[in-house]
Chains A and B, each alone.
Chain A
Amino acid sequence: GAVVSQHPSWVICKSGTSVKIECRSLDFQATTMFWYRQFPKQSLMLMATSNEGSKATYEQGVEKDKFLINHASLTLSTLTVTSAHPEDSSFYICSASSFVGTSGGFNEQFFGPGTRLTVL
């Protein structure tokens, strides 16, 4: 099956620093990648949709200047949390979309294992 990796799996940083999280589709090309955020005991919340070669589309309430998304290739998207603060501490999950040609065709999302960010 399609595999998506994230790096790092966890990171601790000081307040005010920036952190970059990578999302890679290992064995398929993904024109669209998604970034989600999950708070403890809460559902995953969509942050942004990233299309290769174009600007990301952010959900309402997500600061695009704080959460910079780059999708420079069909296998890599990055999320940079700029000037991180403790309230940015969370679990960040990416997914990559690939067209599956069975059952009439469908854009299935394959999820990475997530990155735990802790801002001190």
Chain B
Amino acid sequence: GDSVTQMEGPVTLSEEAFLTINCTYTATGYPSLFWYVQYPGEGLQLLLKATKADDKGSNKGFEATYRKETTSFHLEKGSVQVSDSAVYFCALSGLGGGADGLTFGKGTHLIIQP
């Protein structure tokens, strides 16, 4: 079945540091890929998505590129802020358009220190 593997945290960085959170996947067909973020006490929020190979999703300074050849969707940000502290989940949807349930990675807890 489908699966998502992401680096486990916690990941602790200083403010303005460069961030990379690795995510790889296994899936049949052509999945859509997502990054969700969960702030303390809140529900998951869609951060960015990519629906086909070589697509780049971006939002709030975060970026991730759908790499079919390496089955990866790594999350990056050039300069993190304290407000970026949260749990980040990589996920995939087996059907195009996000119409089915999602397969999630275990989540990466990101801590940004001032």
Contact assessment for A46 and B41 in the assembled complex, using a CB-CB cutoff below 8 Å: no
How many chain A residues touch B (Cβ–Cβ < 8 Å)?
26
Question: Whose C-beta in chain A lies nearest to the C-beta of B103?
Answer: A46
- Interface class of chain A by DSSP: strand
> Which of B42-50, B61-69, B76-84 is found at the contact surface with chain A?
B42-50
Please encode chain B, from 42 to 60, with 1 for each CB lying within 8 Å of some chain A CB and 0 for all others.
1111100101000000000
Chain A CB within 8 A of B89 CB: yes
The verdict on A42 contacting B42 (CB below 8 Å), with A32-B99, A49-B101, A106-B49 known, is: no
Question: Whose C-beta in chain B lies nearest to the C-beta of A94?
Answer: B43
Counting contact residues on chain B (CB < 8 A from A), the size range is 20 to 34
Residues of B near A93 (CB, < 8 A) are 43-44
Contact assessment for A111 and B44 in the assembled complex, using a CB-CB cutoff below 8 Å: yes
Contact assessment for B105 and A43 in the assembled complex, using a CB-CB cutoff below 8 Å: yes
Contact assessment for A106 and B98 in the assembled complex, using a CB-CB cutoff below 8 Å: yes
Contact assessment for B43 and A114 in the assembled complex, using a CB-CB cutoff below 8 Å: yes
Contact assessment for A111 and B103 in the assembled complex, using a CB-CB cutoff below 8 Å: no
